Amino acid sequence: METTLRGVGVSHGVAIGEVRHMGTAVLEPPAKQIPADEAEREQGRARQAVEAVAADLIARGNLAGGEAQAVLEAQALMAQDPELMADVERRIAVGSTAERGVYDAFAAYRALLAGAGEYLAGRVADLDDVRNRIVARLLGVPMPGVPDSDEPYVLIARDLAPADTALLDPSLVLGFVTEEGGPTSHSAILARALGVPAVVALPGAGELVEGTVVAVDGSTGEIFVEPTAEKRAELRRAAEERKAALAAASGPGATSDGHKVPLLANVGGPGDVAAAVEAGAEGVGLFRTEFLFLDDSKKAPSEEKQVEAYRKVLEAFPEGRVVVRVLDAGADKPLDFLTPADEPNPALGVRGLRTLLDHPDVLRTQLTALAKAAEGLPVYLEVMAPMVADRIDAKAFADACRDAGLQAKFGAMVEIPSAALRARSILQEVEFLSLGTNDLAQYTFAADRQVGAVSRLQDPWQPALLDLVATSAESAKAEGKSCGVCGEAASDPLLACVLTGLGVTSLSMGAASIPYVRATLAKHTLAQCERAAAAARAADTADDARAAAQAVLSGE
């Protein structure tokens, strides 16, 4: 009998197929003592396994490219953490086997993260994956990962580690469903980049029986278990209609009455450029530069290396707009040479612009490299700072841009509620705003963006978050300046209409979402978008806001 489950839809599309569960390694090795004269050999085994796993993660990243590469390289750094390795060797020295030493050392580190207020809880899935891979290699058992199958399937997992998500084969993995995660988790972001329908934060997903047929609607978050023939036909018709609408929409982003809304791409490095160009992106609204700094956590990349990487992206968008975010280090993106190792709550500590202002040489090198990369190119370069809290921050960044001789617009990201509330003040120092809705939601609701248990509060439809977007957009309009959205909220076609109605002047998203947003915007007038925005803000819950906007845009 058909039943319906509901999680959080994070990647558009419909997938119908049999359930297959993510394979796992043997998680806990036996606890047995080794003689003292075997300790050195076991320590060597542990080091070899760690290096092999790190090399495998980096290789996977090189194959995947783009955002996935940055995530996997961060996992490799996690595996090679010197303090963690020292703890492994200490445990082996007092009698643990290599595999048990790894298991216990990672368990201690896991507990440390939880004790730090769980801001890094979203990294626990990554940490567990690294541990499982090392332990599996030491025990000689299969690595955790996607199941072997010759037939396409829907993948079910407690959570998906980046190493698995990055190399999913869309010809076999029709879609995936996870028990944990949120709309802005790594799995969600990578699913959108792959164009694979996905639903996260579905309690009990692991209880779905292997081989059961399910239909996954990545737009609504619905899972239909053993769907009837009628339901399958209905879902396929809806998917075909969406596909036709995508094919019919082309060109620059605009409402049906001609109000222009530039549709830009979020890119994590040169590897993401081809997909952005193919999707018809009008430029880049968020160029994340962290990928350059993850190759070596001990020192910043050279100016020459940065110039080369930046220029590859700038060259891809002649006459287009490219908005570069300077290094956003700290919190869940620690770098040994920049970020403190002992902050009790890194999310509320020294991260983003605060980190760069503490290390002005790193900021100046990056700004100088951007200036050199743009020389002679017909590109509209804009550079923005992450985690701007107030006018003092904005002025410090603007002064640094001028001191570096940067011929570009410079702006501020709005990720902290104070920046939204005091946007007009900040705009006295910078030329544009860019709303990072992922972090803005996190800080507005005190809800870690990686923790599935609080996904309700990470929903970008939350009326309080829409209020902050409206405040920022209204401030920018009053100052005659622009205010874009580069957070994951922009990838929701319906919400894109609401953001347009709130006064947002551009939308930036993963390349795979651009056709959906373009097609939806083209069906509605600016006045309809404004009415939908007003209806959403008048609601009390995210679900009611979404329903209210849908009712307006569908003419109900």
321's tokens: 């707009």
Predicted confidence at residue 364, as pLDDT, reads 97
Q: Cα 462 from chain centroid?
A: 19
Predicted confidence at residue 123, as pLDDT, reads 64
Q: What is the per-residue DSSP string for 484-531? A: EE-SGGGGSHHHHHHHHHTT--EEEE-GGGHHHHHHHHTTS-HHHHHH
Measured in degrees and rounded to the nearest 5, phi and psi for residue 114 equal -65, -35
Tally: H helices and E strands in the chain = 23, 16
Spatial CA neighbour of 166 closest among 18, 307, 61: 61
Helix (H) or strand (E) holding 94: none
> What is the signed CA dihedral for 334, 336, 337, 340, rounded to 10 degrees?
70
Whole-prediction pTM: 0.71
**How far is it, in rounded angstroms, from Cα 175 to Cα 84?**
35
Spatial CA neighbour of 133 closest among 145, 149, 120, 122: 145
8 Å CB contact between 329 and 385: no
Spatial CA neighbour of 335 closest among 366, 286, 291, 393: 291
Which are the contacts of 246, defined by CB distance < 8 A and separation ≥ 6? 515, 516, 518, 519
Q: Is 497 a catalytic residue?
A: no
Which are the contacts of 438, defined by CB distance < 8 A and separation ≥ 6? 184, 415, 449, 458, 487, 488
At 479, the amino acid letter reads E
**How far is it, in rounded angstroms, from Cα 213 to Cα 307?**
50
**How far is it, in rounded angstroms, from Cα 35 to Cα 92?**
10
Q: Which of 401, 486, 497, 529 is catalytic?
A: 486
pLDDT above 90 covers what percent of the chain? 55
**How far is it, in rounded angstroms, from Cα 408 to Cα 538?**
38
Measured in degrees and rounded to the nearest 5, phi and psi for residue 47 equal -60, -40
Q: What is the mean pLDDT of each run of 10 residues along the chain (556 residues)?
A: 86 90 74 89 93 86 72 81 90 92 87 52 71 86 73 89 72 89 71 83 89 92 93 88 76 96 92 88 94 76 94 92 92 68 75 93 96 94 98 98 94 98 98 95 86 79 97 98 93 95 96 90 96 98 94 88
**How far is it, in rounded angstroms, from Cα 131 to Cα 478?**
52
Neighbour tally for 235: CB within 10 Å:
19
Q: Which of 186, 497, 524, 529 is catalytic?
A: 186
Q: What is the pLDDT of residues 419-456, one digit of tens each?
A: 999 999 999 999 999 999 989 999 999 987 666 677 78
**How far is it, in rounded angstroms, from Cα 388 to Cα 377?**
29
First-to-last alpha carbon distance for the chain, in angstroms, is 32
Predicted confidence at residue 142, as pLDDT, reads 66
**How far is it, in rounded angstroms, from Cα 148 to Cα 132?**
18
Spatial CA neighbour of 353 closest among 303, 410, 397, 409: 397
Helix 39-64 and helix 82-93, axial crossing angle in degrees, nearest 10: 150
Q: Is 21 a catalytic residue?
A: no
At 155, the amino acid letter reads L
DSSP 8-state code for residue 208: S
Which are the contacts of 243, defined by CB distance < 8 A and separation ≥ 6? none
Predicted confidence at residue 118, as pLDDT, reads 42
Q: Cα 533 from chain centroid?
A: 25
Measured in degrees and rounded to the nearest 5, phi and psi for residue 528 equal -65, -40
E-strand stretches of 291-418: 321-325, 380-385, 409-414
**How far is it, in rounded angstroms, from Cα 71 to Cα 62?**
11
Predicted confidence at residue 526, as pLDDT, reads 98
Sign of CA dihedral 433, 436, 439, 445: positive
Helix (H) or strand (E) holding 20: strand 14-21
Measured in degrees and rounded to the nearest 5, phi and psi for residue 472 equal -65, -45
Q: Cα 457 from chain centroid?
A: 17
Predicted confidence at residue 114, as pLDDT, reads 54
342's tokens: 């002992």
Q: What is the per-residue DSSP string for 438-489? A: HHHHHHHHT--TT-GGGHHHH-TT-HHHHHHHHHHHHHHHHTT-EEEE-SGG
